[in-house]
Amino acid sequence: MEANPIPVVTVQTTPYDDQRPGSSGLRKKTAVFESKRNYLQNYIQSVLSSIDLRDRQGCTMVVGSDGRYFSRTATEVIVQMAAANGGSRLQIGRLVIGHNGILSTPAVSCIIRKIKAIGGIILTASHSPGGPSGDFGIKFNVANGGPSPDTVTDRIHQVSRTLEEYAICPDLRIDLSRLGRQEFDLENKFKPFRVEVVDCVESLSVAIVMGPYVRRILCEELGAPANSAVNCVPLEDFGGQHPNPTLTYATSLDRYMILGQNGFFVNPSDSVAVMAANLSCIPYFRQMGLRGFARSMPTSTALD
């Protein structure tokens, strides 16, 4: 807790007309967020202002990122602005943030539903490259853990086009490397503002957000040797690698291939169905049997 209340500052700003989010949020070149005056602050204020004032009373929001460049700066701004927003008794009460700001999109969704948060802000541009010359994005997931519906994105855009000011606590400093609760006494606020930094794995790879999960699952839970988990330190530019490890971008990770007649290549999304239909040809399953099959979005109808 701070010895003296942290001041809340209102900053005059000019609206931008290009801050219309899609279901995956607002996505631009990183340079746009870095170089345009108040571009980040304007959009964050638009997101916060789109939440009904009555719903903000003591509410909880979740914040996470995929660790790409500019995420740490943006996370600090989000904390400062979330603390400042709301009336004396109607402020956002708590933020839950991943350790070092890292939380995958599914993890944010899970935490939102688990703690009944009002929503979550995710700093990611999905499969787009990171770094100063890469992309940056801001998504707002609603209380059901899913992406914002059109009614929410339209409201955010409407606010962004007429925004004249934003509220911020520029002197508020948060240590994202320290797990646990941190409380801040704010000027003219009824209750302290709380930030909880949580373990991104307990709360529920390339060199991006999945690194901590890979280490925990493969090495700690399954007992694989440490060298089985590679590229597990989140890097702001993803180590120069493509953020989507597919057949094209991560050929070293492809360990099997199914070929049909005349060299016909079976797509990975169909491979589980092909294996299911030919289990007797696979020595392991011929000896050990099989308990069942697992569907995924790409294989949803293939098993049928």
**228 occurs within a structural domain:** no
Given the residues 49, 50, 109, 126, the one annotated as active site: 126
Q: Is-contact 118 152, C-beta < 8 A?
A: no
39 shares its domain with 181:
yes
175 shares its domain with 270:
no
124 shares its domain with 19:
yes
260 shares its domain with 168:
no
Q: Please count the other Cβ atoms lying within 10 Å of the Cβ belonging to residue 159.
A: 19
Residues 11-62 have pLDDT tens digits of 999 999 999 998 789 999 999 999 999 999 999 999 999 998 778 778 999 9
Q: Is-contact 46 163, C-beta < 8 A?
A: yes
Residues 117-134 have pLDDT tens digits of 999 999 998 878 888 999
Determine the Cα–Cα distance for residues 7 and 3; give it in Å rounded to an integer. Answer: 12
**1 occurs within a structural domain:** no
- Sequence-separated (6 or more) residues with CB below 8 Å from residue 102: 64, 65, 66, 67, 200, 209, 212, 234
Residues 51-75 have pLDDT tens digits of 987 787 789 999 999 889 999 999 9
Task: Output the pLDDT for position 205.
Answer: 38
Domain boundary among the residues 198, 231, 248 is at: 198
3-state SS class at 43: helix
Task: Output the pLDDT for position 87.
Answer: 53
Domain that holds residue 120: 9-198
266 shares its domain with 184:
no
Query: How many angstroms separate the most distant Cα atoms in the chain?
Result: 76
Task: Output the pLDDT for position 73.
Answer: 96
**206 occurs within a structural domain:** no
Determine the Cα–Cα distance for residues 265 and 271; give it in Å rounded to an integer. Answer: 10
Determine the Cα–Cα distance for residues 108 and 111; give it in Å rounded to an integer. Answer: 5
161 shares its domain with 293:
no
Domain boundary among the residues 175, 198, 221 is at: 198
39 shares its domain with 170:
yes
If pLDDT is split at 50, 70 and 90, which confidence band does 85 have?
Answer: confident
**235 occurs within a structural domain:** no
Q: What is this structure's pTM?
A: 0.72
Q: Please count the other Cβ atoms lying within 10 Å of the Cβ belonging to residue 244.
A: 15
Total tally of structural domains belonging to the chain = 2
146 shares its domain with 271:
no
**237 occurs within a structural domain:** no
14 shares its domain with 115:
yes
Based on the number of CB atoms within 10 Å of its own CB, is 268 exposed (0-12), middle (13-18) or buried (19 or more)? middle
Q: Is-contact 195 60, C-beta < 8 A?
A: no
**134 occurs within a structural domain:** yes
Task: Output the pLDDT for position 244.
Answer: 60
Determine the Cα–Cα distance for residues 79 and 174; give it in Å rounded to an integer. Answer: 8
Q: Which residue has the tokens 């590229």?
A: 231
Q: What percent of the chain has pLDDT over 90?
A: 49
**223 occurs within a structural domain:** no
170 shares its domain with 295:
no
Q: Is 126 a catalytic residue?
A: yes
- Tokens representing residue 136 in the block: 């940056």
Task: Output the pLDDT for position 245.
Answer: 58
85 shares its domain with 160:
yes
Task: Output the pLDDT for position 90.
Answer: 55
Q: Is-contact 1 183, C-beta < 8 A?
A: yes
Higher pLDDT, 81 or 256: 81
If pLDDT is split at 50, 70 and 90, which confidence band does 291 have?
Answer: confident
Residue 164: give its domain's CATH number. Answer: 3.40.120.10
**215 occurs within a structural domain:** no
Task: Output the pLDDT for position 297.
Answer: 67
Identity of residue 275: M
DSSP 8-class letter at 295: -
Higher pLDDT, 139 or 302: 139
Task: Output the pLDDT for position 208.
Answer: 42
76 shares its domain with 162:
yes
In sequence order, the β-bridge partners of residue 195 are: 95, 182
